[in-house]
A and B are shown apart, each in its own frame.
Chain A
Amino acid sequence: MSRRIHPAVSGAQPFQRAERSEIEGPILATDEGRERLEMSLSRYPVKRAALLPMLGFVQEKRGWISAADMAEVAAALDLTPAYVHSIASFYTMYNKHPVGRHLVQVCTNISCHLNGGEEVLERFLHEVGTREGETSKDGGFTVIEAECLGACGFATAVQVNDEYFESVTPETVPDIVRDLRGRA
């Protein structure tokens, strides 16, 4: 962290990123974990409200959220692991399984559908050699179909980790994949 995160924004940090640290064991027991928990708790009148921010923190660090992580977050916030699971499974952005280094989400909702979103999705699957929802053999890519990403005027919208790619066509997909591979 180049700059101390202000408490007001502690709960809102990108939680899907290309570079992930490999933290073994309990994640909230790290210095950063403790700090983020304390900051998040300071922003809400009830403990439970820190749940989404803390799940976000886990995913930011690990790339996905395991059952053990959910139990750890539950304990920190006086919740049951089952309750935390019910939250993690409700929201689509929490990865309940490990995903590839690049999580590619292709919007095929109405505006993107009208502009060939499905073909863009197919092309991504073809280029990285995987099936929808699965991770490529080299662990580089997971490609999924996404609901509206809020960039409808610039169809097709594609999100890769925390980055937006707009006005994507099947023809521009190979370049994007090559660029992403180069970063890995």
Chain B
Amino acid sequence: MSFPHRHELETTTLLSRYQGEEEARTLAGWLDLGGYGRLRTAIGMTPDDIITLVKDSGLRGRGGAGFPTGLKWSFMPKDDGKPHYLCCNADESEPGAFKDREVLRWTPHLLIEGCLIAARAIGAGHAYIYVRGEFFPYTKILNEAVTEAYENGYIGEDIMGLGWSCELTVHNGAGAYIAGEETGLMNSLMGNRAEPWSKPPFPAQAGVFGMPTTVNNVETLATVPGIVEHGADWYRQWGSEKSPGTKLWCCSGHLVRPGNYELALGLPLREIIFDVCGGTPSGKPVKAVIPGGSSTAFLTGDELDCVTTYEGMQEAGSSLGTASPIVMDADTDIVAAMRRIAQFYAHESCGQCVQCREGTQWIVRILQRIEAGDGELRDFDTLYELCEQMTGRTICVLADSVVFPLRSSLDKFRSEYEARMSPSLVAAG
């Protein structure tokens, strides 16, 4: 049912190649597929060489921000005598995104291998995989794989007899969107509330347990073994100069064939929605798309000719985010959809910053009022003012994340909001 689709169009399968194949889950099956060979290669390389390789590949973080992975690794101090940590962010909680669970459930050893290669590069002696609490079935699969890898000498002391050691621990979250933010994740891992902290200190200076730390997304780490095996140029054959490689897409909403697809970066968004996913089930035109998960700006049905690279989506006024387009057909109630999105952020605000804690609640209440037909024209001013006050003024970007869809929906679908307001109140406003 929730199987990665194989569709007739040409797809590139670096990450999803073994998704759907039971054998790849087991250590024996993974070894048959050449598993842990890339780790062997990486252990034979110097950490600097691994970092240079990943830098050359142009791999960018797949957690949403798109920060260059090799550069992030290079921020880790060298020879400082402190323990270093790698945190793998498997908290996948951006509404619209459901890609990391496919890596966890089909190719857990690929993720373990990626984690260990990254740990080697940044000098970490312990890698933590932080899996969102709800992912019970996938945690079980990952647990099996970790246990098997430990029992056979692929994790732990003297890995494969090559004289390099690294521990790995699977850690479950317990239901908090904000634990997907890197400092929130580290706080949660330390047994605190998942409250983000103000940077600096940056994770590479003082991260989890006060030590230099790198936090990488599951998809990012799962991409690394392929780069180690085939090289940077191989990886650059897909995508653009600034956005090389492939991306796991998570397509949801009103689509004939929703689901996961691995596609080279750079396809037109329109092609993904219509050719890959078959358009809307109703056959009606697309009214709106949130292209990168719920924290990105709305695009209208007329703005779908943008190119799906980090830079292309930025030019289009939105963001690639986690490459999770949520598609809405012509019958969609934009006010209700935006209200539902805002409710999520109000629920998940950690409460540290006033702008976010109060602002998200205000937005929900105003949108509920508009949805109920009691909106006033001046509500637009209040909402825009909230957008202004909530942007760039908080510890983390949760507040900004609700502003992106809100502001763009107000700009692009103003008439939808106005249509919900009663004529007398609009006049009074």
Q: Are B134 and A93 in contact (CB under 8 A)?
A: yes
From A52, A56, A110, residue with most partner B Cβ within 10 Å: A110
The verdict on B175 contacting chain A, using a C-beta distance below 8 Å, is yes
Once the chains are docked, how many angstroms separate the CA of A15 from the CA of B171?
12
**Contacts A8-B168, A12-B171, A90-B194; A110 near B98 (Cβ below 8 A):** no
Judging by beta carbons under 8 Å apart, are B136 and A153 in contact? no
Residue B143 interfacial (CB < 8 Å): yes
| B304 → chain A closest CB, angstroms | 17
| Partner pick for A9 among B100, B170, B189, CB 8 A cutoff | B170
A153 vs B100: C-alpha distance when bound (angstroms): 13
CB distance from B177 to the nearest CB of A (A): 7
B171:A52 contact, CB within 8 angstroms: yes
Report the Cα distance A93→B134, complex, angstroms: 8
- Check A151–B2 contact: CB distance below 8 A: yes
Partner of A153 from B173, B189, B258, B341 at Cβ < 8 Å: B258
Alpha-carbon distance between A11 and B191 when the two chains are bound, in angstroms: 12
Report Cα–Cα, A161/B83, bound state, in Å: 37
Q: Decide if B344 touches A147 in the complex (CB within 8 Å).
A: yes
In chain B, positions 117-146 with a C-beta closer than 8 Å to chain A are: 131-137, 139-140, 142-143, 146
Which residues does chain A contribute within 8 Å of B17, judged by CB atoms? Answer: none
Supposing A49-B190, A110-B341, A148-B95 touch, asked if A91 and B147 sit within 8 A by C-beta, the answer is: no
Give the interface segment out of B230-238, B245-253, B306-314, B412-420: B245-253
Bound together, the chains give a CA A86 to CA B195 distance in angstroms of: 12
Which of A43, A52, A166 is the one whose CB lies under 8 Å from B1?
A: A166
Closest to B329 in A: A114
Asked whether, in the complex, the Cβ of A150 is within 8 Å of the Cβ of B294, the reply is: no
The DSSP consensus for interface residues of chain B is: mixed
Q: Which of B134, B188, B189 contacts A150 (CB 8 A)?
A: B134
Interface of chain B residues 208 through 254 with chain A (CB within 8 A): 209, 250-254
Number of interface residues of A (CB under 8 A): 53
User: Is the Cβ of A110 less than 8 Å from the Cβ of B171?
Assistant: no
CB-CB under 8 A from A6, the residues of chain B are 143, 146-147, 150-151
On whether A53 and B171 interact (CB within 8 A), knowing A46-B190, A152-B324, the answer reads yes
Which residue in chain A gives the minimum CB-CB distance to B277? A153
* Cross-chain contact of B150 among A8, A46, A166 (Cβ < 8 A): A8
Report B's interface with A, CB cutoff 8 A.
1-2, 83, 92-98, 100-101, 131-137, 139-140, 142-143, 146-147, 150-151, 155, 167-177, 188-194, 209, 250-254, 258-260, 290, 294, 324, 326, 328, 332, 336-337, 340-341, 344, 347-348, 350
Identify 21 residue pairs between A and B in the complex whose beta-carbon atoms are under 8 Å apart, listed by A's number: A6-B147, A8-B169, A12-B142, A13-B172, A16-B136, A44-B169, A44-B209, A49-B190, A86-B193, A91-B176, A92-B176, A94-B174, A108-B340, A110-B294, A114-B337, A147-B95, A147-B344, A148-B93, A150-B135, A153-B259, A154-B2
Q: What are the 6 closest A-B residue pairs judged by CB atoms, nearest first? A: A93-B175, A162-B136, A91-B174, A48-B191, A92-B175, A51-B191
